[in-house]
Amino acid sequence: MCGIAGIWYRDGEDGPVGEDLSRMLLALAHRGRDGSGMALYAAGGEAPRVVKNAAGPAMLLQENDLDGARGGHGIAHVRMATETAVDAGHAHPFVSAARPDLTLVHNGHVTNADQLRARLERAGVELRTDNDSEAIAAYLGERLDDGDDLREALEGAVSDLDGTFSCLVATADAMGVVRDRFAAKPLVVAETDDWVAVSSEGRGLPAPSGWRRREVGAGEVRVWRRSPR
């Protein structure tokens, strides 16, 4: 059981991304204490600021000046380790080996990750951990490099990845979610005219005030994208 969170500001201007994600992540702290992290995207920027550790979100906030961070969107994660090492390198978010602007947070277990990792490494992709989430991030980056947009890449993941998973992915100009065909791992979305928030559970969402909330369906993909300026 891990926890994922994300915030997207529709106007594309600098929003209080650090403050919002900090609140959301602290509300999900019970879902994992083996690691935590954030990827923060400056409005109009490219590669995100990524911070992570091998402890809970309270320590992450103490170690980094996040409350005052502003940006156009961001994603975050708390980790409960089930298979791989407990260290900062295995914490989320993972940055795609092929696309440094693509980051991913993930809750679940991809059962064909070893085969996926082997294929990526044969293609020359360098992976630094044995975490299935890193392999997913590399897979999505590969699909983007091959010409897919983020929606197409995530739709491919529904077909190509085996197991149970909910993933939240961000790039410099988009944020998207995908849930496996069995809908085994929880994922909810809340939307207002000003922002979109994603969380593993309702308690991780911002305080309700005119938002529309729904659960992401089995095999569903949602993507939010900004038009080029």
Positive or negative torsion for Cα 156, 160, 164, 168: negative
Give me the half-sphere count of Cα atoms (radius 13 Å) on the Cβ side of residue 31: 26
Name the nearest CA neighbour of 203 among 78, 44, 40, 71: 78
Q: What is the pLDDT of residues 75-88, one digit of tens each?
A: 999 998 877 788 88
What CATH number corresponds to the domain at position 151?
3.60.20.10
Cα separation, 200 vs 25, whole angstroms: 10
Q: To the nearest whole percent, how much of the chain has pLDDT over 70?
A: 99
Question: What is the C-alpha to C-alpha distance for residues 89 and 87, in angstroms, rounded to an integer?
Answer: 5
Q: Are 175 and 196 in contact (CB under 8 A)?
A: yes
pLDDT of res. 229: 47
> Whole-angstrom Cα distance, residue 198 to residue 83?
25
Highest mean pLDDT, choosing among 8-12, 13-17, 170-174: 170-174
pTM of the model: 0.95
CB 3 within 8 A of CB 172: no
Structural domain containing residue 156: 3-225
The count of structural domains within the chain is 1
Does residue 134 register a pLDDT over 50? yes
